[in-house]
């Protein structure tokens, strides 16, 4: 285990299916998820935390920093896709599918721009992992998690990359090419089922 990729905890925007604004905080459930995540990752051990600079990601990383005594390193490269003028709009009110391949939100990022930024984010993550010489925690967003795994990692045969990564889902990547994935979108820290623990593996 060398790179622990994590989606932020739940927000009211997640629960209501809204394209989120940058300043949306975690809701009560999301704060609880962040604490559960911190307990899990502290048991594994890590040496550094990098994080999207959006509030919901920073709030998710905060218990990790508080419990470990580490400082969070923020990066705008790890932000969620920018949906521009549509941020704050419920999915149900949109005339088009915002995740469609040709959709370009007004004053936001089209897919090509987003994927270029995620490529830079991945280079940053790998470089930071090597510089700290130990397990790195990366707190980011669902579309970023999906893009990183689909485009920059080696997923085991027969494993389908989820369209939506769960709140505080943990994915494990190796820092060396081809960046093998040994665990994907695991939320066992939110559950109590022993069967779920076995399915998720050792992380």
* 179 is annotated as an active-site residue: no
The catalytic residue among 8, 141, 152, 179 is 8
The pair phi, psi for residue 75, each rounded to 5°, is -145, 130
Cα dihedral: 162, 73, 48, 33 (round 10): -50
Nearest to 176 by CA among 38, 1, 10: 1
Q: Please say if 8 is a catalytic residue.
A: yes
- CA dihedral for 189, 195, 200, 203, sign (positive or negative): positive
Catalytic residue among 10, 48, 74, 80: 80
C-beta separation of 42 from 114 below 8 A: no
Name beta bridge partners: 49: 72, 137
Query: What is the C-alpha separation between 147 and 195, in angstroms, rounded?
Result: 29
Residue 19 backbone phi and psi in degrees, to 5: -70, 120
- Active-site annotation, residues: 8, 80
């Amino acid at each position: 285990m060398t790179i622990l990729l994590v989606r932020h905890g739940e927000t009211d925007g997640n629960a209501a299916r809204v394209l989120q604004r940058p300043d949306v905080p975690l809701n009560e459930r999301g704060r609880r998820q962040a604490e559960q995540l911190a307990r899990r990752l502290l048991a594994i051990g890590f040496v550094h935390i990098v994080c999207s600079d959006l509030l919901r990601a920073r709030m998710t990383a905060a218990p990790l920093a508080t419990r470990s005594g580490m400082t969070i390193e923020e990066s705008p490269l790890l932000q969620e896709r920018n949906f521009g003028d549509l941020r704050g709009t419920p999915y149900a009110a949109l005339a088009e599918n915002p995740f469609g391949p040709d959709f370009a939100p007004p004053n936001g990022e089209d897919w090509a721009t987003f994927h270029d930024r995620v490529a830079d984010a991945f280079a940053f993550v790998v470089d930071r992992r090597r510089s700290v010489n130990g397990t790195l925690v990366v707190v980011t967003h669902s579309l970023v998690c999906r893009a990183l795994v689909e485009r920059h990692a080696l997923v085991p045969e027969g494993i389908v990359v989820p369209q939506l990564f769960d709140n505080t889902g943990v994915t494990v990547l190796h820092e060396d090419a081809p960046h093998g994935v040994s665990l994907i979108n695991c939320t066992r820290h939110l559950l109590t089922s022993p069967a779920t623990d076995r399915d998720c593996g050792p992380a």
